[in-house]
């Protein structure tokens, strides 16, 4: 088994939609970025890449490449999952936390978990997402940005483990 961690942060700005875990969140601000700026998915991608020492999301999907402009981060997650699988591994589990002063994210967590589990081809029970505030401290606490951290584990793929992952 291998483990990786990931972190991402983006600033909030007007004129963009807020997307976290592939879910559009009703809010007056959105995250600035080249893609859809989904910090949750980006942190999971970095954790998966890190687990296999494959670099980071910026190396695989650079913001200088126009094919990724505005792209759904769920597509990037699917590409990262394919990299993981091409190295002979499957995702075992994901544990992530979103740090945002606002908006309240609890109503959207279930849909985020569903999206991530579907893309990673694992049971939703293997995806944990939590949300917390920054207690009004720092730029996140002042409502200037949103961050996310993730830890993942991957394990070697076998015919039996692939079947169990899809069944559990």
CATH code: domain of residue 147: 3.30.1330.50
Q: What is the pLDDT of residue 166?
A: 52
Find the domain containing 35 and state its range: 2-167
Burial class (CB in 10 A: 0-12, 13-18, 19+), 59: exposed
Report pTM: 0.91
Q: What is the pLDDT of residue 65?
A: 75
Consecutive sets of 10 residues in the chain, 168 residues long: mean pLDDT of each?
97 96 97 94 98 92 79 94 96 98 97 98 98 93 96 87 49
Q: What is the pLDDT of residue 102?
A: 95
Nearest one of 85, 108, 103 to 166, comparing CA atoms: 85
Q: How many domains, in total, are found in the chain? A: 1
Q: Are 63 and 124 in contact (CB under 8 A)?
A: no
Q: What is the pLDDT of residue 39?
A: 98
């Amino acid at each position: 088994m291998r483990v990786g961690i990931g972190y991402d942060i983006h600033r909030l700005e007007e004129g963009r939609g807020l997307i976290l875990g592939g879910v559009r969140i009703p809010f007056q601000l959105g995250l600035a970025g080249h893609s859809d700026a989904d910090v949750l998915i980006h942190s999971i991608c970095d954790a998966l890449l890190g687990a296999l020492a494959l670099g980071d999301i910026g190396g695989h999907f650079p913001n200088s490449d126009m094919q990724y402009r505005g792209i759904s981060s769920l597509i990037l997650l699917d590409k990262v999952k394919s990299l993981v699988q091409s190295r002979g591994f499957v995702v075992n589990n994901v544990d992530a936390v979103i740090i945002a002063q606002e908006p309240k994210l609890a109503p959207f967590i279930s849909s985020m978990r569903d999206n991530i589990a579907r893309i990673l081809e694992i049971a939703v029970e293997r995806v944990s997402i939590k949300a917390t505030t920054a207690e009004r401290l720092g730029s996140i606490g002042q409502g200037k940005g949103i961050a996310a951290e993730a830890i993942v584990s991957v394990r070697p793929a076998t015919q039996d483990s692939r079947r169990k992952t899809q069944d559990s």
